[in-house]
Structures are given as C-alpha cells and as structure tokens.
C-alpha cells in the first residue's frame, strides 16, 4: 500500500483514479479517487459534495456523480488514471485473431 500512496503523491495530477472509462464520456472511475490537498480545500470540491443526493438508479449515479466529477474538476485540475485505458491499449500488439481474444478477455475474464 505504501508504494501505491507514494505513486499517487508523486503523480503530477491533482486528482488520480486507478482507472478511467469511456462509458458516456472520458472520466475517472469513482471506486478509487485520490485528491490532493488543493482539490479537497477548493470551493468546487465543497460545493460538489454538498449537492450530492441519493439517486435510485446506478446509471444515473454514474452519469451525475462519476462522470460529473471528472467534468466538473477537469476544467481546473489535472486528472490522471494510474491504469489509463489509453496506455493499456497502446501496449497491446495484435493481429485480427488476437484482437478477438483480447475483446473476449476484457468482457469475460477481467473485473469491471
């Protein structure tokens, strides 16, 4: 855990997530977000969380709060994902057959 925290603290971004997603639009996934002190002390942070309300549907929560968080804070703060989708895809070397296997693994074997 110390290695992860050191990696987060040494990242030049203000808000770091473990992963990002293209679902709806590019955003940090909310299961793990690391916000540096400047973010937490900002008026935007306080306002964002003071307006959070209980929503009934998962997709509504994702759109309003997960995607909304990245959209709201991405204008002022630098966002980054430790394991960004772009970096992962850039590391994959494949031909058409391998692409099919990769898609299958992403859909069936890897956790969401």
Q: Is the pLDDT of residue 98 over 70?
A: no
Residue 110: predicted pLDDT = 41
Question: Does pLDDT of 105 surpass 50?
Answer: no
- Structural contact between residues 62 and 100, judged by C-beta atoms closer than 8 angstroms: no
pLDDT tens digits along 28-79: 999 999 999 999 999 999 999 999 999 999 999 999 999 999 999 999 999 9
Does position 100 have pLDDT exceeding 60, yes or no? no
| Residues above pLDDT 90, as percent of the chain | 55
Span 11-29, average pLDDT: 91
Write the Ramachandran bin of 30: left for phi over 0, alpha for psi from -120 to 50, otherwise beta. Answer: alpha
CA–CA dist 44, 37 (Å, integer): 13
Structure confidence at residue 102 as a pLDDT band (50, 70, 90):
low
């Amino acid at each position: 855990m110390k290695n992860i925290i050191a990696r987060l603290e040494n990242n030049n971004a203000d808000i770091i997530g473990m992963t990002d997603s293209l679902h709806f639009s590019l955003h940090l996934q909310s299961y793990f977000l690391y916000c540096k002190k400047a973010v937490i002390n900002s008026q935007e942070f306080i306002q964002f969380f003071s307006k959070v309300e209980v929503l009934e549907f998962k997709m509504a929560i994702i759109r309003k709060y997960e995607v909304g968080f990245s959209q709201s804070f991405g204008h002022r703060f630098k966002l980054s994902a430790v394991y960004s989708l772009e970096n992962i895809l850039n590391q994959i070397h494949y031909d058409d057959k391998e692409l099919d296997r990769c898609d299958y693994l992403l859909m069936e074997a890897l956790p969401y």
